[in-house]
Structure 1
Amino acid sequence: MNTRLLVMCFMAICGQDIMDDQCSYWQDDQCLLHANCSNRGFGFIPALRLPNVVYLDLSTNRIEKIESKSFSSLTNLLELNLSANIISLLEIDAFLGLEHLRILNIRKNFLVYNSISFPNSVFKPLKSLFHLDITSSSVYHSDQNFEEFSIDVISDLKTLESIVIDIISDRFGQSVFGIGFTSLTHLTKLTAGSCNIKFDNATFLNVPYLDWISLKNCTMKSYHGGTLKHRNFTFLSFEGIMHHSIADWQNVVYDFDDNLINTLVLTSSFLLNTFLPDHFYNTLGQTGITHLSLNKNDFIEPEELIFDDPIGYSKTLPLSLRDLDFSNNNLLNFNLIMPELEYLNLENNSLGYFLESEKYSATNTTVLKHINLSFNGIDKLNTSVFHGHPCLEKINLSNNFLTDIHFDISHLKTLKIMDLSNNRIQGFEKRTIEHLNKLFDESNLQFNLSNNIIKCTCDNIQFLQWMVERSVHFSQKNRIKCTYGNETTILLATFTKTLLQLEKECGSYTMLIILMSVALLTVCITVISGLAYRYRWTLRYIYYMTVSKYRRYKPQNTDHNFSYDAFISYADEDKSFIVKECIPILEVQGGMEICIHQRDFLPGEEITNNITNAIHESRKTICIITRSFLDSYYCMFEFNIARMESIYSRGGTNILLLVFYDQLRAQDLPLVMLELVQQDSYLEYPDDEQGNIVFWDKIKEAIAV
Structure 2
Amino acid sequence: MFTSNFKNESFEFIPQVRHLDISTCKIQEIHKGALTILKNLTYLDVSNNTCIKCEGLENITSDLQFSNIKILKVNYLLKISDLTTVLKTSHIKGLHNTSLQNVFVDGNRLQTIEKNALTYLPKSLKFLSVRRNPFKFGYYLADVLHLSNLETADISDLYLHKTDFNPEKCIFDSICTCNEDSVNEPSYMDHSVISSLYVKDEIRKRDISDIFSLAEIPIPTNLKHINYSSGSLVMDIPKLMFSRNKVETIDLSNNILHSLVGPIVNVESLKILNMANNFCSNITNVFFSTDFKNLEHLNFHNNLLGIILPDDNDGKIFHNLESLIEIVLAQNRIPNLPENIFKSQRNLQKLDLSDNILTDINFRLSHMMQLKELDLRGNRIAIISDHIALQWESLARKHNFSVDLNKNLLECNCLSIKFIKWMTTTNVRLRNIKKYRCMLWNRTQVSLHNPKETYNLLKKHCTSYEHLEIALVSGILLFIIIVVGAVVYRYRWKLRYLYYIVKVKYSSLHSEMEEEYSYMYGAFVSYADEDRIFVHNTLLQKLEVENGIQLCLHKRNFLPGNDIATNITSAIHNSRKTLVVMSHNFLKSYWCMFEYNMARMESIYERRNENVVFLMFYEHMCSTDLPLNVLEMIQSKSYIEYPNDEYGDTVFWDQLVNALK
Q: Same fold (TM over 0.5)?
A: yes
Q: Check if 1:237 corresponds to 2:129.
A: yes
C-alpha spacing 1:587/1:416, structure 2 compared with 1 (3 Å): closer
Is the contact made by 1:275 and 1:299 (CA closer than 8 Å) also made in structure 2?
Answer: no
In structure 2, C-alpha distance between the alignment counterparts of 1:174 and 1:648, rounded to whole Å: 105
- Displacement of 1:674: 0.6
1:418 alignment partner in structure 2: 351
- Displacement of 1:206: 5.3
C-alpha spacing 1:488/1:180, structure 2 compared with 1 (3 Å): farther
C-alpha spacing 1:456/1:199, structure 2 compared with 1 (3 Å): same
One-letter amino acid of the structure 2 residue matched with residue 246 of structure 1 = F
C-alpha spacing 1:522/1:450, structure 2 compared with 1 (3 Å): same
In structure 2, C-alpha distance between the alignment counterparts of 1:124 and 1:487, rounded to whole Å: 80
2:153 alignment partner in structure 1: 264
* 2:75 aligns with one of 183, 187, 192: 192
- Displacement of 1:450: 4.4
Q: Deviations over 1:112-158 (max 9, x none)?
A: 4368xxx9649958987845244356x7xxxx44317x63x996796
Is the contact made by 1:276 and 1:304 (CA closer than 8 Å) also made in structure 2?
Answer: no
* 1:177 aligns with one of 44, 56, 60: 60
1:378 alignment partner in structure 2: 305
In structure 2, C-alpha distance between the alignment counterparts of 1:588 and 1:222, rounded to whole Å: 117
More relative contact order in 1 or in 2 (CA 8 Å, sep 6+)? 2
1:251 alignment partner in structure 2: 140
One-letter amino acid of the structure 1 residue matched with residue 226 of structure 2 = L
Is the contact made by 2:572 and 2:602 (CA closer than 8 Å) also made in structure 1?
Answer: yes
C-alpha spacing 1:260/1:470, structure 2 compared with 1 (3 Å): farther
In structure 2, C-alpha distance between the alignment counterparts of 1:619 and 1:304, rounded to whole Å: 78
- Displacement of 1:688: 3.3
One-letter amino acid of the structure 1 residue matched with residue 501 of structure 2 = M
In structure 2, C-alpha distance between the alignment counterparts of 1:549 and 1:304, rounded to whole Å: 64
Q: Check if 1:643 corresponds to 2:600.
A: yes
The correspondence of residues 62-211 of structure 1 with structure 2, limited to 5 A, is: 90=2, 112-113=4-5, 121=10, 130-135=19-24, 144-147=28-31, 151=34, 161-165=43-47, 166=49, 175=58, 177=60, 185=68, 188-195=71-78, 197-205=85-93, 208=98, 210-211=100-101
One-letter amino acid of the structure 1 residue matched with residue 254 of structure 2 = N
1:444 alignment partner in structure 2: 400
C-alpha spacing 1:394/1:657, structure 2 compared with 1 (3 Å): closer
In structure 2, C-alpha distance between the alignment counterparts of 1:304 and 1:230, rounded to whole Å: 34
Query: Can you give the 5+ residue segments of structure 1 that lack an aligned partner in the other structure?
Result: 1-65, 67-89, 91-110, 307-313
1:78 alignment partner in structure 2: none
C-alpha spacing 1:499/1:359, structure 2 compared with 1 (3 Å): farther
In structure 1, C-alpha distance between the alignment counterparts of 2:350 and 2:443, rounded to whole Å: 30
In structure 1, C-alpha distance between the alignment counterparts of 2:418 and 2:14, rounded to whole Å: 75
* 2:527 aligns with one of 542, 550, 570: 570
Is the contact made by 2:328 and 2:353 (CA closer than 8 Å) also made in structure 1?
Answer: yes
Is the contact made by 1:256 and 1:284 (CA closer than 8 Å) also made in structure 2?
Answer: yes
Q: Check if 1:274 corresponds to 2:201.
A: no
- Displacement of 1:475: 3.5
Query: When the two structures are superposed, what TM-score results if normalisation uses the length of structure 2?
Result: 0.72
Is the contact made by 2:141 and 2:218 (CA closer than 8 Å) also made in structure 1?
Answer: no
SS at match of 2:208: coil
One-letter amino acid of the structure 1 residue matched with residue 624 of structure 2 = Q
Structure 1 residues 657-666 or 545-554, which shifts more?
A: 545-554
Identity %: 26
Q: Deviations over 1:222-276 (max 9, x none)?
A: 5222255234234211111024x422xx325505514422321010338933243
Is the contact made by 1:169 and 1:176 (CA closer than 8 Å) also made in structure 2?
Answer: no
In structure 2, C-alpha distance between the alignment counterparts of 1:304 and 1:590, rounded to whole Å: 92
- Displacement of 1:654: 1.9
2:457 alignment partner in structure 1: 501
Backbone CA RMSD of aligned residues: 4.4
1:215 alignment partner in structure 2: 105
In structure 2, C-alpha distance between the alignment counterparts of 1:170 and 1:615, rounded to whole Å: 112
1:527 alignment partner in structure 2: 483
In structure 1, C-alpha distance between the alignment counterparts of 2:304 and 2:510, rounded to whole Å: 69
Q: Check if 1:360 corresponds to 2:360.
A: no
Is the contact made by 2:62 and 2:92 (CA closer than 8 Å) also made in structure 1?
Answer: no
1:536 alignment partner in structure 2: 492
SS at match of 1:292: strand
2:328 alignment partner in structure 1: 396
C-alpha spacing 1:269/1:521, structure 2 compared with 1 (3 Å): same
Q: Deviations over 1:437-469 (max 9, x none)?
A: 444333334444544545556655665555665
- Displacement of 1:683: 2.9
Query: Can you give the 5+ residue segments of structure 2 that lack an aligned partner in the other structure?
Result: 161-206, 363-385
C-alpha spacing 1:370/1:267, structure 2 compared with 1 (3 Å): same
Is the contact made by 1:625 and 1:659 (CA closer than 8 Å) also made in structure 2?
Answer: yes
In structure 2, C-alpha distance between the alignment counterparts of 1:126 and 1:554, rounded to whole Å: 115
2:656 alignment partner in structure 1: 699
* 1:329 aligns with one of 236, 255, 258: 255
Query: When the two structures are superposed, what TM-score results if normalisation uses the length of structure 1?
Result: 0.68
Is the contact made by 1:410 and 1:439 (CA closer than 8 Å) also made in structure 2?
Answer: no
In structure 1, C-alpha distance between the alignment counterparts of 2:65 and 2:555, rounded to whole Å: 131
C-alpha spacing 1:265/1:480, structure 2 compared with 1 (3 Å): farther
1:285 alignment partner in structure 2: 220
Q: Check if 1:667 corresponds to 2:624.
A: yes
- Displacement of 1:400: 1.8
